[in-house]
Amino acid sequence: MKKIKAIVRSLKNYARNGEHYRYHADVTNIITPILAEKYKISLIYSPYITLFNDEKLVYKQNMKFDLTEEIESKDHIRDELFIYLKGIIEGNLHCPIEAKKAAAKKLDYALSPYKKANDLPYAENTSEIENALEELKSEKYAPSVTELGLDDAVTQLEAANLDFNTTYQARSGEKLQRSERVSMKTLRPQVDEAYVAVVNAINALYMANEIATKDETTREELGGIIDSVNALIVQLEETLSRRGSSPSTDDEEEPEPEPTPTPEPEPTTPEITKFYPKEGANPDKPLDFPRNKTAVLEGKGLKLVDSPEGKKTQLVLINYVDQRMPHEDSAILLNTDEKIEFTMMYDAAEGQYNFQIETYPNGTEEAVVIKYPETITLI
């Protein structure tokens, strides 16, 4: 007897939020309110479509917090100001005018604990810049700031840092409000339960027509619905199988017993343990990297994961003025937790660079930065 296959176990145990949402969205495009009314199952169908619309709202809200783009823009502004400030100071370290060179040396020393501030997560970045600004505005260093003509830059950086922090705190409040609302975790089982009721009704209607009335038109329409939904199920199960999940093939819709809880494994601390050129290596200078040649990173926790808010993972070169130079996605040739192979940037100037990975493991919004501890040289 033709019927819609079971899928709830796969939806519950293996499907991600996006896959769960997409499956039910496709089902509601097949089993529509008009069909439900035609076959007099609206009382069964109505709770399903209502709950799915709730899931749709929550899912779309969770995709991106309203203030995220504004935060990214304001963080970029303050980073640019901070990099500019450091660049002027470092440039004047070689100034032939003795007063400016002396001022630059004092300010370079004052900023030395904070030079990597813009590589830190948002909140730490804010605190580091606040501390740096306190130094620059102090009685000890303010004359040197004036000597280099940086008073306006310091004022603008202070305003940009405050503006960023105000917006960042507003988003924290937004997150708190959303965490108190209904979540995907609570909605998904309810949607699945209502879906089973609709599936059982469709299967029962097809069976009744097959046994009793043998209405060819009705049987063809209901059979088409069943075939279409089953095609969605096959598509989802193939997706889960490719990812290494184990979709349920059992026809029963009852949930499996809850597994016995197991202790959470200790989180892996991401780390680069080896960094070397795979092509064009010089044994006497192991940290000399030919441009446009393959380089290899080894370590743990290196798997690159993009942000749920759409920000991309990056392999980044940083020059002496802290300018960030991300590699293109196409440069990455291999990526596992233990190894990354990539083509070293070809259009960066020869010289010394710091290197870091910026990634978003476990769905984090802010990049986890994995730094290689030594300076490398592009040749």
Structure-token pair, residue 246: 């184990």
Compute the average pLDDT of residues 150-166: 93
Compute the average pLDDT of residues 102-116: 93
Cβ atoms of 322 and 90 within 8 Å: the answer is no
* Pairwise pLDDT comparison (74 vs 66), residue with the higher score: 74
Q: Which fold has domain 271-378?
A: Coagulation Factor XIII; Chain A, domain 1 (2.70.50)
CA distances from 244 to 23, 149, 172 (A): 19, 60, 35
* Pairwise pLDDT comparison (252 vs 17), residue with the higher score: 17
CA distances from 300 to 262, 270, 303, 334 (A): 23, 5, 8, 14
Compute the average pLDDT of residues 279-297: 89
Mean pLDDT rounded to a whole number for the chain: 85
Q: Among 141-155, 215-229, 245-259, name the one with the lowest average pLDDT.
A: 245-259
Q: Which of 9-23, 147-161, 293-307 has the highest mean pLDDT?
A: 147-161
pLDDT, one tens digit per residue, over 118-139 is: 888 888 889 999 999 999 999 9
Q: What is the pLDDT of residue 351?
A: 87
Residues in CB range of 328: below 8 A, 6 or more apart = none
Q: What is the pLDDT of residue 254?
A: 42
- Whether the full predicted model's pTM is greater than 0.85, yes or no, is no
pLDDT, one tens digit per residue, over 330-357 is: 888 888 889 999 999 888 888 899 999 9
* Pairwise pLDDT comparison (149 vs 18), residue with the higher score: 149
Cβ atoms of 31 and 202 within 8 Å: the answer is yes
Cβ atoms of 51 and 187 within 8 Å: the answer is yes
Compute the average pLDDT of residues 160-172: 82
Compute the average pLDDT of residues 227-242: 91
What is the Cα–Cα distance from 292 to 379, expressed in whole angstroms?
A: 10
* Pairwise pLDDT comparison (170 vs 3), residue with the higher score: 3
Q: What is the pLDDT of residue 60?
A: 73
At 171, is the pLDDT very low, low, confident or very high (cuts 50, 70, 90)?
Answer: low
Delimit the domains of the chain by residue range: 1-253, 271-378
Q: Among 61-75, 160-174, 207-221, name the one with the lowest average pLDDT.
A: 61-75
